[in-house]
Amino acid sequence: MFTYLNPDIRQQLIDTGKLLRIDRDGTPVNGETTMLADAAAPRADATAPRADEGVINLLGPIPLPLKMGGQSYQADWYAAVRSAELQKVEELAATLRESGGQNRFATLATSMAVNSVLLIGDAGNADNPLVRVHSNCLTGDVFGSERCECGPQLESALGRISNDPDGGMIVYMAGHEGRGIGLWAKAATYLLQDAGENTYQANQSLGLPTDSRDFTDAAALILFFLGDRPMRLLTNNPKKIEDLSAAGLTQMTIEKHVVGVSKWNKRYLSAKQSWGHKIGDSDIAK
């Protein structure tokens, strides 16, 4: 595993506690070096489920000064990826080395979704930290699109958590573009929406789930950093609440997180409202 890292650096990161693995319950996995070697070894039955299928590899902390919306913040960044995803990179790297395709190593990045944790303040010791599980949205988070409220939600969460006495964390889910359908399909749904469908109907027209996101990794990361303690979750999404609760987070207080309403996304927010999101008529009327 981690073949794109120099093995000496990889071992150094393990020895210094900067690279570790946690299971679905957020518990550190023992025998790190041995398990990495076992994971990289060929398997007799490649179709059989991996023993470490749900194990998450965690790299950090990395001090990260942030500036968003004209405000400066400080966070500790952790990168997180499933062992199964890293195994795909291992196999692709071996193929590229054998074929002499060194110039194609950039394709390694397309094989795995690397989630992020931004830990802010002393959240691990706080009585009631703020938590935001944020699905990545290139158009909203990066381009500043007003077709959704994702960018303002991320910016608001960062500000609220940084200014809160208890601090908290943001879990940024990299594989969640378009509620899990990916950027290419999301672009198609935008064209369908412009033709009259709402965001959920557009997914269905493409033969895709209305929401295929998986929040189990987010729950494992929260359990690792905070444990199952009282926390305040910034969300309007009942599916997120249900998934995190089912994964072991039992002491969440839900705080509404409606920001970024504009004339461009009111129809989108209305569709979310009809799908059960905790968005009131007065919220959309802003």
Active-site residue list? 211, 213
Q: Are the C-beta atoms of 130 and 167 separated by less than 8 Å?
A: yes
- Cα 56 to Cα 35, 50, 71, 81, 180: the distances in Å are 12, 13, 32, 6, 19
Kindly state the tokens that stand for 140: 């909203």
Contact in structure between 148 and 237 (CB atoms under 8 Å): no
What's the CA dihedral at 36, 64, 135, 242 to 10 degrees?
70
* Cis omega (within 30 of 0) for bond into 63: no
Rounded (10°) angle between helices 83-99 and 32-40: 50
Which residues, 6 or more positions from 31, have their beta carbon under 8 angstroms from its beta carbon?
none
Identify the H or E element spanning 66. strand 56-68
CB 119 within 8 A of CB 78: yes
